[in-house]
Homo-oligomer: A and B are copies of this chain.
Amino acid sequence: MFKALSEETRVRIVGLLTGGERCVCDLVAILNLPQSTISRHLTILKNAGWVASRRKGVWMYYRLAETKNPLHQGLLAAFRANLPSVKALAADRKKMAAYLKSKPAAGCD
């Protein structure tokens, strides 16, 4: 559960997902890392219960997962409340905002 958050890229992903559901291609574009790397991190987050996924056509959308584990709920609440103002993640949020505006031209709907 904590091990899944022990890697910077995975925390960045969780940070981005506090902004809502995103597909893998979005994350690849923002994080600027190989697709295989992003996908591997998403699998780890999913196995740990931090995120859930939904298929829509060819695209997989990932979001923060709902859970019944009280500790997990508490931590998620802390994330939703505080991650959006963490400085270290500001660049990602900014990039995502710009990306979302130009998205219709970019690809996945």
Interface residues of A (CB under 8 A from B): 2-3, 5-7, 11, 70-71, 74-75, 77-79, 81-83, 85-86
Contacts and interface: CB of A to CB of B under 8 A. Distances in A.
A11 B75 CA distance: 14
B75 A71 contact: no
Copies in the complex: 2
A81 B74 contact: yes
Contact of A78 (B3, B11, B74): B74
B77 A71 contact: no
Nearest to A85: B70
- Most chain-B Cβ atoms within 10 A of its Cβ — which of A7, A78, A86? A78
Contacts of A78: 71, 74-75, 77-78
A74 B70 contact: no
9 contacts: A2-B5, A3-B6, A5-B5, A71-B79, A71-B83, A74-B78, A74-B82, A75-B75, A77-B78
